[in-house]
Chains A and B, each alone.
Chain A
């Protein structure tokens, strides 16, 4: 059917709409409305599930509580492995929210047929599909590890820039820029590319052929969420324990 449309209206292809946004004006500021709409959905879903899971807490968990406890233990393990047994507890909310938000965003983009809801401009997709979201998350991660470093080691945190030798100073400074850059672009690129591939395949062959790619997309989405959260935790852990400290086996 889409192929038909391709023949008749070549402009239908434009519905792929890369880089078009639904602009909202807030004062003099421009906002990407479609990102906020889906992110509110994701946030709402997370809050709702958390509320339902903790509404009636039992010592012997069942159902949703059990599932969310599993999720929490997963997040705790992740944070514990990267940050270390002693310091990981205050960072569980940050790392966990990173993981949950990215994961639910990615999967909502892959599983929910957002495109059935028509917007005046742009289209609904995973919030992580927008560079603003991923850069926001990456910058927050940078802030988080700077905060972790300064609060744990004070001004001694600066010592890490000349470790193991002052020659590496430029590279160490550069690292602070490459970390958020790679974090944000990795997530953004993966999710956008996945959605584009699926969209293109659906346009070309609407039946069955896109399915394996969609499944692969689900897998990639989950992995990207895990990678983002793990790297964030690793950066925080590194900032806390210091470069010269013990290396991770």
Chain B
């Protein structure tokens, strides 16, 4: 282990003597910087711009769709509300029509009943009158017959008496 560390140190020292070493700054530095800038430019064209555009477009697409959807939802809700209102109105109208029809029907029924009662009353009265008349007639006939019979009885009594 010690041997190893020592060797490592020697190796590093040797490298430094050869002009190498860990902190050997040379033309690699500026060239690497240039290379990096070129990479940044290339990636900008190839990666950041197109994909960034896609991301932004998608954001726009999603938000516009969301706004659109919200608008449509509001419209749908409004239509539903209107429908409800119309429904209520129609129900009320139907109720009114039914009530009116019932009233009318009741009126007609009452009228019909009244007419029928009147007619019945009139017929009853007529029948009563006819009955009375016939009764009177019968009474008159009966009286006549009573008179005749009583005459006959009287005649018979008087005849036997005279005889």
A residues near B (Cβ < 8 Å) are: 6, 10-11, 13-14, 16-21, 26, 29-32, 35-36, 39, 43, 46-47, 50-51, 53-54, 57, 59, 61, 65, 68-69, 72-73, 76, 92-94, 96-97, 100-101, 122, 127, 130-133, 135-137, 139-140, 192, 200, 203-204
A sample of 15 cross-chain residue pairs with beta-carbon separation below 8 angstroms, ordered by A number, consists of A10-B3, A13-B11, A14-B7, A19-B16, A29-B26, A30-B26, A31-B27, A47-B39, A59-B61, A68-B47, A69-B51, A69-B54, A132-B29, A136-B30, A139-B29
Closest A-B pairs by Cβ, 5 of them: A29-B27, A50-B47, A132-B28, A97-B40, A136-B33
- Given A18-B12, A19-B21, A96-B43, are A35 and B32 also a contact pair (CB < 8 Å)? yes
B51 & A72 in contact (Cβ 8 Å cutoff): yes
Q: Does B25 contact A (CB under 8 A)?
A: yes
Among A10, A53, A136, the residue within 8 A (CB) of B51 is A53
CA–CA, A50 to B44, complex, Å? 10
A20 & B15 in contact (Cβ 8 Å cutoff): yes
- Interface residues contributed by chain B, number (CB under 8 Å): 44
B residues near A (Cβ < 8 Å) are: 1, 3-4, 7-8, 11-12, 15-16, 19-33, 35-37, 39-44, 46-48, 50-52, 54-55, 57-58, 61
Chain A hits for B20, CB < 8 A: 19-21, 122
CA–CA, A11 to B7, complex, Å? 8
For the residues of A in contact with B, the DSSP-based class is helix
CA–CA, A36 to B33, complex, Å? 12
Among A20, A35, A97, the residue within 8 A (CB) of B36 is A97
B54 & A57 in contact (Cβ 8 Å cutoff): yes
Chain B hits for A137, CB < 8 A: 32-33, 36
Chain A hits for B55, CB < 8 A: 69, 72-73, 76
Chain A hits for B19, CB < 8 A: 30
B37 & A50 in contact (Cβ 8 Å cutoff): no
* A6 nearest in chain B by CB position: B4
CA–CA, A92 to B44, complex, Å? 9
* B39 nearest in chain A by CB position: A43
**B39 CB to nearest chain A CB (Å):** 5
B43 & A97 in contact (Cβ 8 Å cutoff): yes
A18 & B8 in contact (Cβ 8 Å cutoff): yes
- Given A16-B8, A20-B15, A130-B28, are A46 and B39 also a contact pair (CB < 8 Å)? yes
Chain A hits for B57, CB < 8 A: 59
CA–CA, A122 to B22, complex, Å? 12
